[in-house]
């Protein structure tokens, strides 16, 4: 590692945790209750990443999507209730994440999480699945703070871990994550095991694509 202090900021869904089926089941519960067909689980790969509000609108067919305001708020509440039932059903860490986090802890590298998942569910997931490690900052989507790819959350995370943005590595699985890193002046590092294709990550500015979590260690 160089003499300059580095830090790692991770996306959550599709990067640290495989949450796909629990998120998909929750969306499908909402659709089914309203008389709409369910999507295959893999279809949710394109719905995840832009926050819950966008997800609950995008899963509905064209012409049936809820309008902004009260209608979206009602369906969002339904989705949050469904995810509140499902969020621990099948979610697991991706292979190799535990070993990576153990090594980062041994090296005393500051680590954080920045997600577009709502802040309360972000905290629940970290507390439930990632509590073995000490996180310097955990941030989800919050009222009054622009979501990724706006750089506000990433800059806040860098400040919390005590690292200059240019020395932070933002690790994610979507174009939104790569754009966030670029917008914040961080290193944009994509992962191959997430929910989106690597071509999307490269097109959005990824400096490097990790084939395994261990590959990150070579960058520090």
User: Taken in order 193, 163, 123, 102, is the CA torsion positive or negative?
Assistant: positive
d(CA 141, CA 72): 17
What are the two backbone dihedrals, phi and then psi, of residue 21, each rounded to the nearest 5 degrees?
A: -65, -40
Contact, 188 vs 213, CB < 8 A?
A: no
Query: Which residues are within 8 A (CB) of 171 and not within 5 positions of it... i.e. 6 or more apart?
Result: 8, 9, 10, 11, 15, 177, 189, 190, 191, 210, 216
State the chain's mean pLDDT as an integer.
96
Q: Quick one: pLDDT band at residue 1, thresholds 50, 70, 90?
A: very low
Strands 137-141 and 92-93: unpaired
Nearest in space to 166 (alpha carbons), one of 153, 148, 154, 149: 154
- So what's the pLDDT on residue 191? 98
pLDDT at 184 over 80: yes
Q: What is the pLDDT of residues 185-217, one digit of tens each?
A: 999 999 999 999 999 999 999 999 999 999 999
Q: Quick one: pLDDT band at residue 158, thresholds 50, 70, 90?
A: very high
Q: What is the pLDDT of residues 28-64, one digit of tens each?
A: 999 999 999 999 999 999 999 999 999 999 999 999 9
Q: Quick one: pLDDT band at residue 4, thresholds 50, 70, 90?
A: low
User: Is-cis flag, bond preceding 149, omega within 30?
Assistant: yes
- So what's the pLDDT on residue 196? 97
Q: What is the pLDDT of residues 60-93, one digit of tens each?
A: 999 999 998 999 999 999 999 999 999 999 999 9
């Amino acid at each position: 590692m160089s003499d300059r202090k580095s830090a790692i900021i991770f996306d959550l869904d599709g990067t640290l945790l495989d949450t796909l089926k629990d998120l998909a089941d929750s969306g499908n519960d909402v659709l089914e209750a309203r008389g709409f067909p369910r999507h295959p689980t893999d279809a949710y790969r394109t719905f995840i990443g832009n926050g819950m509000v966008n997800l609950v609108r995008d899963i509905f067919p064209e012409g049936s999507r809820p309008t902004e305001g009260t209608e979206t708020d009602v369906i969002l509440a339904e989705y949050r209730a469904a995810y509140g039932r499902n969020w621990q059903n099948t979610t697991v860490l991706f292979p190799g994440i535990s070993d990576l986090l153990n090594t980062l802890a041994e090296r005393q590298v500051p680590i954080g999480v920045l997600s577009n998942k709502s802040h309360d569910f972000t905290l629940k997931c970290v507390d439930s699945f990632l509590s073995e490690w000490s996180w310097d900052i955990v941030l989800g989507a919050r009222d009054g703070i622009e979501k990724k790819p706006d750089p506000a959350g990433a800059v806040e995370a860098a400040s919390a871990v005590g690292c200059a943005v240019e020395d932070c590595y933002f690790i994610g699985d979507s174009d939104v994550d790569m754009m966030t890193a670029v917008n914040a002046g961080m290193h944009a590092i994509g992962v191959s095991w997430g929910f989106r294709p690597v071509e999307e990550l490269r097109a959005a500015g990824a400096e490097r694509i990790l084939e395994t979590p261990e590959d990150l260690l070579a960058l520090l």
